[in-house]
Amino acid sequence: MTKHVEKKSELRELALKHLSPVMTRITDLVVAKAQGAKFWTEDGTEYIDFVSGVAVNAVGHAHPEVVKAIHEQSSQLIHLGLNYGYYESAVKLAQKLAEITPGELDTVFFSNSGAEAIDGAIKLARAATKRPNIIAFEGSFHGRTLGATSLTASSSKYRKYYEPLVGGVYHVPYPYQSQLHFQSEEETVQYCLNRLTKLFELVVDPTQVAAIIIEPVMGEGGYVPAPLSFLQKLRQIADDNGILLIFDEVQTGFGRTGKMFASEHAGITPDVFVLAKALSSGMPLGAIVASRELHEKWQTGTHGSTFGGNPVSCAAALASIHVMESEGLIERSERLGKAIVNRLNHELADYPSVAEIRGIGMMIGIEFQDERGQPGTTIVSKIREEALQHHLLVTSCGVYGQTIRLMLPLNIDETVLDKGLTILTNCIINVIK
Ligand SMILES: Cc1ncc(COP(=O)(O)O)c(C=O)c1O
């Protein structure tokens, strides 16, 4: 029998001994409890959480409605397997996702995570089009399974040691203006479209491409929104060539960008949505949402999952979406996101180390540069460390870790928000002044 762990330091030692070191440890805090936008370590120290479990707890940690749904569902049915029968939470959630996703996307496959849903979407695209190839974008992050790793190009370290990866994946530049060093959005978009056209001409014929997959706002790669005209053009290119357009909305979905889904900003509907993270407030769940017609081209029995669409996860997701709708969190994300960016601009924009403050809804990035205009990786590490000392958890993104990204709960209490932002801007100014 496992011995009862008595002291917090013992727990940390046990973790160091028994948890694999492969996962990067951002902190070595031992966390006992989390609620809303705060968590508490074992000794009762309070922290403000600007990470939200990596954009998962969009309605805050342990929202009472979500907790209640989890309790009720787990007392009735914890697991069955969606191929052994239907149950209410999964079916109602599929219906709800059909209702809230744009266009005619009405059919859902459930998995356990974002990466697994990405893998499923690759399989769906290949099976439905009978074409082998996938186009993805430089800087993108789609997850850690071998399939998702094959699409991921936000750092070569994620791919190192794992090659050969899934074949037939081609990467083209993401319209990240400052990294591509263009003066205007138009030039950036044109350059990226030209690179795609060149790829079609020189390397892979478009009739052999099953799907183009894109994060409408690049997450891990730097919190960079793709220009809407670029997304619209991709829609057109996909349509012209019988290619499926897949939006990875694992990080952008469920209000993070000030709309329920980021695709709505561009007014286009992808053929496939890949969803996870905030979908279920921390219970493991991913979803592939597409039209019935497309799903019917995916031959029965060629894909599946033991846990996918778990009853408790689906109940948590239904409650979580209900909270977003009933508490008006999508509109709040848009409104509060603007106010946060205004405040950050007001307090920080004049410092030369602050390269850019950008945000769409509550998906906000503060990019730093050093005195030579190079990525401000060290600055960001110092800010993170100093913030943690002041009991604020923030994290970074960007190929070089040069951007602080804010992933606050959409319902964050304004007093907590103000306190957290004050700590953050003080720490930033302290490091860069
Ligand atoms: C855009 C995007 N896609 C996919 C994933 C992978 O999701 P998961 O970690 O649930 O496998 C992530 C995770 O950070 C992500 O940000």
The mean pLDDT value for 98-127 works out to 98
Please say if the pLDDT value at position 4 is more than 70: no
Range list for CATH 3.40.640.10 in the chain: 65-326
Q: From ligand 1's centre to the CA of 377, what distance in Å?
A: 22
Please say if the pLDDT value at position 6 is more than 80: no
Strand duo 244-248 + 209-214: pairing:
parallel
Integer Cα distance of 356 and 333 in angstroms: 20
CA dist 274 to 33, 269, 317, 360, 429, Å? Answer: 30, 12, 15, 20, 38
Nearest protein Cα to ligand 1, atom 8 = 114
Ligand 1 pocket test target in 251, 395, 407 with most atoms within 8 Å of CB: 251
Nearest protein Cα to ligand 1, atom 13 = 143
Q: From ligand 1's centre to the CA of 2, what distance in Å?
A: 33
Q: From ligand 1's centre to the CA of 99, what distance in Å?
A: 23
Ligand 1 pocket test target in 116, 141, 405, 407 with most atoms within 8 Å of CB: 141
Range list for CATH 3.90.1150.10 in the chain: 8-59+328-432
Q: From ligand 1's centre to the CA of 142, what distance in Å?
A: 5
Helix (H) or strand (E) holding 38: strand 38-41
pLDDT band at residue 9 under the 50/70/90 scheme: confident
The mean pLDDT value for 382-409 works out to 97
Mean pLDDT of the chain: 96
Look at residues 273, 193, 194 and name the one whose alpha carbon lies nearest to residue 226: 193
The mean pLDDT value for 282-309 works out to 98
Look at residues 40, 88, 60, 49 and name the one whose alpha carbon lies nearest to residue 281: 60
The mean pLDDT value for 25-52 works out to 96
Q: From ligand 1's centre to the CA of 346, what distance in Å?
A: 32
For 55-66, what is each residue's pLDDT tens digit?
999 999 999 999
Q: From ligand 1's centre to the CA of 214, what distance in Å?
A: 12
Q: From ligand 1's centre to the CA of 121, what distance in Å?
A: 13
Ligand 1 pocket test target in 277, 283, 313, 397 with most atoms within 8 Å of CB: 277
If 0-12 CB within 10 Å is exposed, 13-18 middle and 19+ buried, where does residue 180 land? middle
Q: Which CATH architecture has domain 65-326?
A: 3-Layer(aba) Sandwich (3.40)
Helix (H) or strand (E) holding 33: strand 31-35
Which two three-digit tokens encode residue 180? Answer: 């591509």
Superfamily, domain 8-59+328-432: Aspartate Aminotransferase, domain 1 (3.90.1150.10)
CA dist 198 to 134, 181, 230, 245, Å? Answer: 15, 20, 16, 19
Integer Cα distance of 164 and 219 in angstroms: 25
Helix (H) or strand (E) holding 100: helix 88-100
The binding-site residues of ligand 1, defined as CB within 6 angstroms of any ligand atom, are: 54, 113-115, 118, 141-143, 215, 219-220, 248, 250-251, 276
Nearest ligand 1 atom, CA 115: 11
Q: Dmax of the chain from CA atoms?
A: 65
Please say if the pLDDT value at position 370 is more than 90: yes
Q: From ligand 1's centre to the CA of 168, what distance in Å?
A: 21
For 215-263, what is each residue's pLDDT tens digit?
999 999 999 999 999 999 999 999 999 999 999 999 999 999 999 999 9
pLDDT at residue 7, rounded to an integer: 52
Q: From ligand 1's centre to the CA of 12, what distance in Å?
A: 27
Taking only Cα atoms into account, the Rg of the chain, rounded to an integer number of angstroms, comes to 22
Nearest ligand 1 atom, CA 276: 10
Angle between helices 377-389 and 414-432 (to 10 degrees): 130
Nearest ligand 1 atom, CA 118: 4
Instruction: Identify how many contiguous H helices and E strands the chain contains and give both numbers.
Output: 15, 17
Integer Cα distance of 387 and 192 in angstroms: 37
Inter-residue contact 186 to 142 (CB < 8 Å) = no
The mean pLDDT value for 382-394 works out to 98
In 141-262, alpha helices (H): 146-151, 177-180, 185-202, 228-241
Nearest protein Cα to ligand 1, atom 10 = 114
